[in-house]
Amino acid sequence: MKKLKVTINLEMSVPSDWELVQTSEGTPVLKLPNGQFMDIAIEPLFATDPEDTWSSTDDEDELNDVLDMVESEEVIYEFVTH
């Protein structure tokens, strides 16, 4: 087995009423105004042809097999003010 390192870096324009909050474990998540919270994390996408439409899997075992390979995950949130 070999290691694969994936770095996720997104820049998004979001509504001004979104907030950063921390879970009890200190993990940052987004608080949305409708009372929901959102965490952005990796979700594997699959296709039978790389030029075709990509989608998540409906096979929970297949998804869990991929997610079980993840040894650690870090997503950093920061609001940028100009």
pLDDT at 16: 92
pLDDT in tens, 5-54: 888 888 888 999 999 999 998 889 999 999 999 888 778 888 888 899 99
C-alpha angle 23-3-42 in degrees, rounded to nearest 5 = 35
Distance, in Å, from the CA atom of 30 to the CA atom of 20, rounded to the nearest integer, reads 5
pLDDT at 73: 82
pLDDT at 20: 94
Q: List 55's β-bridge partners, or say none.
A: 46
Distance, in Å, from the CA atom of 74 to the CA atom of 60, rounded to the nearest integer, reads 23
Is the pLDDT confidence value at 81 over 80? no
CA dihedral for 50, 54, 56, 57, sign (positive or negative): negative
